[in-house]
């Protein structure tokens, strides 16, 4: 400990007067002839003076009981300087076996740049030779040791050590090394890909994707090469993650910007689409993605579609893209028909593809699809009509209630009454409250409202929800009795509906809920005024509970 201050002072003085440093070191050695530290200090001073042979002989003369690591470190550097590579290698191995290579750090701070690079290059080459042979755990650990020494001399070996840590399964340590490189060189493509692929092994999708995207901004060729070098399973996972990211990114862009988008807004999407096609051009998903990006930019992608899928593709996904192209070309009927192939199996894809069509074309295509649905339903092709109407509903904006009514009727024909009710719920919600006098309404709205309620009530009865169904019919009778009765006659029929009112009224009567029973009998008699059981029930309710709030 008493020598640390003089040694530090000696090292600081090297540049100003090497002779003075040497003299001070010799004096210290004379004062403490049995101590090793002054001899090491003299050897360092001799090295600084260029007297390498004397320094080497002095270090060899130090007794075997001395701490070996500092001496081995200096002997290694001196042998490299003298060109004795075999001896340097043997000394390095001994130094590594000591397990204390940290003594190299202060030493490397004062040796010449030439010798520092000699050490780095030699250790890096030694690690490469090891890695080119058998890659057992022991060999990898030896390579890491050589690389750690190389890194002390120069950071250029960090990449190799990070890769060794990956092979050893020390992934977080590898990420630390990759990050150290990127801190100094943010545009280091290999470090970005290396860290990204290490995150891949840790199943960290977001971090992996971000690193690969950052690398893509610098060099698509290098990233493609690195992805192709991965094993099949890893390459497929990277491919899938990039595909997911690009789909999400494109959807978010289209949610914020109407087509056609600016090229700069799609730059990242084009980059990812490009690397995906280079990685696996046989996968149709990357071609569909590329077509979607082109359409988002406002380019008619028919040529690419035809080249990959043929003039008349069989796949529903490819047909749907042709439908988008046809909508751009104002071929609305054909566009709607092709897009209708996705309605049942891929509704989310349909919604996405509709965002690739400008609003004016989308509206006109919705109208064309609804008209075509009317034609095919007249021929009894209800399922085809349903698919077309789904396109119309999803593509329409202000016309949506009209198409929802049409689709609800189609669903009822197919006995899909739960879905018909869901459509009519949305239609009826669009009306608002008919009793709200502050809302401006067209004169025919009570008429339309009553018909919507009767249609929903009809489907509710057929899917065994009689309570809500009778509420709908009662409200419809209050709004527009004539239209409600016309709908009943065309649907369930007056007699059947009156029986429903009677059955529900009897249930409430049995529970002594006389007000509800009264309202149900009144509505039932509006449907069928000659229904004897409803008349008798009304009379019983009137006798038992003659309330002015019930009897008018």
pLDDT digits (tens, 9 = 90+) for 92-123: 788 777 777 777 777 776 777 787 778 777 77
Let me know how long the chain is: 552
Please, are residues 7 and 41 in contact by the beta-carbon 8 Å criterion? yes
Question: What DSSP string describes 477-544?
Answer: HHH-HHHHHHHHHHTT-HHHHHHHHHHHHHHHHHTT-HHHHHHHHHHHHHH-TT-HHHHHHHHHHHHH
Query: Quick one: DSSP state of residue 354?
Result: H
- Do residues 162 and 197 lie in contact, with contact meaning Cβ atoms separated by under 8 Å? no
CA–CA separation, 511 and 533 (whole Å)? 18
Most confident of 41-45, 155-159, 429-433, 464-468: 464-468
Residue 533 lies in a domain: yes
pLDDT tens digit sequence for 258-269: 899 998 999 999
Higher-confidence position of 490 and 67: 490
Number of domains in the chain: 2
How wide is the angle at C-alpha 207 spanned by C-alphas 203 and 211, nearest 5°?
A: 120
Predicted confidence band at 154 (pLDDT cuts at 50, 70, 90)?
Answer: low
Which of 36-50, 80-94, 426-440 shows the lowest mean pLDDT across its residues? 426-440
The string of pLDDT tens digits covering residues 183-239 is: 988 999 999 999 999 999 999 999 999 999 999 999 999 999 999 999 999 999 999
Q: Which of 262, 280, 299 is the last residue of a domain?
A: 299
CA–CA dist 68, 331 (Å, integer)? 86
State yes or no: pLDDT of 44 exceeds 60: yes
Q: What is the pLDDT at residue 299? A: 92
User: Does the residue 461 lie in any domain?
Assistant: no
Instruction: Tell me the mean pLDDT in the region 372-395.
Output: 95
Q: What is the pLDDT of residue 506?
A: 95
The answer to whether residue 78 scores a pLDDT higher than 90 is: no
75: Cβ contacts below 8 Å, ≥ 6 apart: 56, 59, 60, 91
Instruction: Give domain status of residue 89, yes or no.
Output: no
Distance (Å, whole) CA 315 – CA 465: 40
Q: What confidence category does residue 24 fall into, taking pLDDT thresholds of 50, 70 and 90?
A: low
Tell me which of 299, 328, 350 is where a domain ends: 299
Query: For all residues of the chain together, what is the average pLDDT?
Result: 85
Give the separation between CA 251 and CA 265, rounded to whole angstroms: 12
Indicate if the pLDDT at residue 250 is higher than 60: yes
pLDDT, mean of residues 70-76: 79
Q: Is residue 216 part of a domain?
A: yes
What's the pLDDT band for 526 if we cut at 50, 70, 90? very high
- Position 129 scores a pLDDT of 80
Q: What is the 3-state secondary structure (H, E, C) of 368-395?
A: HHHHHHHHHHHCCCHHHHHHHHHHHHHH
72 has pLDDT over 60: yes
- pTM for this structure? 0.72
Closest CA to 102 of 126, 70, 71, 125: 70
What pLDDT does 7 receive?
44
Residue 458, pLDDT above cutoff 80: yes
- For 350, the 3-state DSSP assignment is helix
4 vs 54: which has the higher pLDDT:
54
pLDDT of residue 301: 87
Percent of the chain with pLDDT over 90: 59
pLDDT on residue 546: 61
Q: How far is CA 45 from CA 23, 35, 102, 185, 300, in A?
A: 9, 17, 21, 36, 76
What confidence tier does 137 reach under pLDDT thresholds 50, 70, 90?
confident
Q: Does some domain include residue 275?
A: yes
Does any domain span residue 519?
yes
pLDDT tens per residue, range 288-334 = 999 999 999 999 888 899 999 998 898 999 999 999 999 999 999 99
Grade residue 383 by pLDDT with cuts at 50, 70 and 90.
Answer: very high
Buried b (16+ CB within 10 A) or exposed e, 300-315: ebbebbeebbeeebee
**Distance in angstroms (rounded) separating the CA atoms of residues 306 and 544:** 78
Residues of the domain holding 212: 186-299
HEC readout, 120-149: HHHHHHHHHHHHHCCCCHHHHHHHHHHHHH
Q: Examine the fold and report which residue of 299, 325, 356 is the final residue of a domain before the chain moves on.
A: 299
Q: What is the distance of C-alpha 455 from the center of its chain? A: 42
pLDDT band at 415 (very low <50, low <70, confident <90, very high): very high
Q: Span 125-154, mean pLDDT?
A: 76
The Cα 152–Cα 101 span in angstroms is: 10
Task: Tell me, yes or no, whether 333 lies in a domain.
Answer: no
Look at residue 31 in the predicted model and tell me its pLDDT: 63
Rounded CA separation 180/410 (Å): 64
What's the number of CA atoms in the CB half-sphere (13 Å) around residue 338?
23
pLDDT at 529 exceeding the cut of 80: yes
Check whether the bond before 260 is cis (ω within 30° of 0): yes
Question: Does residue 513 lie in a domain region?
Answer: yes
- What's the CA gap between 194 and 213, in Å, rounded? 13
pLDDT > 60? residue 339: yes
* pLDDT at residue 438 greater than cutoff 50: no
257 Cβ contact partners less than 8 Å away, ≥ 6 residues apart: 265
Question: Pick the residue with more confidence: 515 or 58?
Answer: 515
Share of the chain above pLDDT 70, in %: 87
């Amino acid at each position: 400990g008493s020598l640390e201050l003089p040694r530090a002072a000696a090292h600081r003085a090297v540049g100003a007067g090497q002779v003075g440093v040497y003299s001070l070191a010799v004096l210290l050695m004379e004062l403490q002839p049995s101590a090793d530290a002054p001899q090491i200090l003299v050897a360092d001073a001799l090295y600084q003076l260029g007297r390498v042979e004397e320094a080497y002989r002095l270090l060899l003369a130090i007794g075997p009981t001395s701490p070996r690591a500092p001496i081995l470190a200096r002997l290694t550097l001196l042998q490299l300087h003298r060109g004795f590579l075999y001896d340097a290698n043997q000394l390095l191995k001994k130094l590594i076996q000591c397990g204390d290579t940290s003594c190299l750090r202060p030493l490397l701070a004062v040796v010449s740049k030439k010798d520092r690079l000699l050490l780095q290059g030699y250790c890096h080459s030694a690690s490469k030779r090891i890695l080119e042979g058998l890659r057992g755990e022991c060999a990898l650990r030896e390579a890491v040791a050589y690389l750690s020494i190389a890194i002390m001399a120069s950071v250029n070996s960090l990449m190799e050590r990070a890769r060794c840590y990956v092979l050893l399964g020390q992934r977080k340590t590898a990420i630390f090394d990759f990050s150290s490189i990127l801190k100094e060189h943010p545009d280091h493509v290999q470090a970005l890909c290396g860290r990204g692929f290490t995150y891949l092994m840790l199943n960290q999708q977001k971090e992996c994707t971000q690193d690969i995207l950052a690398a893509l901004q610098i060099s698509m060729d290098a990233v493609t090469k690195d992805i192709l070098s991965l094993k099949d399973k890893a390459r497929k996972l990277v491919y899938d993650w990039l595909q997911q990211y690009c789909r999400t990114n494109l959807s978010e862009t289209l949610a914020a910007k109407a087509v056609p988008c600016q090229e700069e807004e799609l730059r990242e999407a084009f980059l990812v689409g490009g690397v995906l096609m280079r990685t696996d051009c046989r996968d149709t998903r990357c071609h569909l993605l590329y077509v979607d990006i082109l359409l988002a930019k406002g380019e008619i992608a028919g040529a690419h579609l035809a080249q990959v899928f043929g003039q008349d593709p069989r796949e529903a996904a490819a047909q749907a893209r042709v439908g988008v192209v046809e909508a751009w070309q104002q071929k609305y009927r054909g566009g709607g028909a092709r897009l209708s192939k996705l309605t049942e199996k891929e509704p989310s894809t349909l919604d996405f593809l509709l965002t690739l069509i400008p609003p004016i074309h989308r509206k006109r295509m919705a109208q064309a699809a609804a008209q075509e649905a009317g034609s095919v339903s007249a021929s009894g092709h209800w399922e085809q009509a349903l698919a077309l109407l789904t396109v119309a509903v999803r593509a329409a904006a202000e016309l949506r209630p009209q198409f929802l009514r049409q689709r609800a009727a189609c669903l009822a024909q197919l006995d899909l009454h739960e879905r018909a009710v869901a459509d009519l719920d949305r239609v009826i919600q669009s009306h608002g409250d008919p009793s709200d006098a502050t809302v401006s309404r067209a004169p025919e709205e009570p008429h339309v409202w009553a018909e919507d309620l009767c249609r929903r009530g009809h489907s509710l009865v057929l899917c065994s929800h009689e309570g809500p169904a009778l509420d709908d019919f009662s409200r419809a009778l209050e709004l527009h009795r004539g239209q409600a009765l016309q709908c009943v006659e065309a649907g369930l029929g007056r007699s059947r509906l009156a029986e429903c009112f009677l059955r529900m009224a009897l249930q409430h009567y049995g529970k002594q809920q006389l007000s509800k029973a009264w309202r149900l009998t009144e509505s039932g008699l509006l449907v069928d005024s000659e229904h004897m059981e409803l008349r008798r029930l009304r009379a019983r309710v009137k006798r038992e509970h003659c309330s002015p709030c019930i009897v008018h």
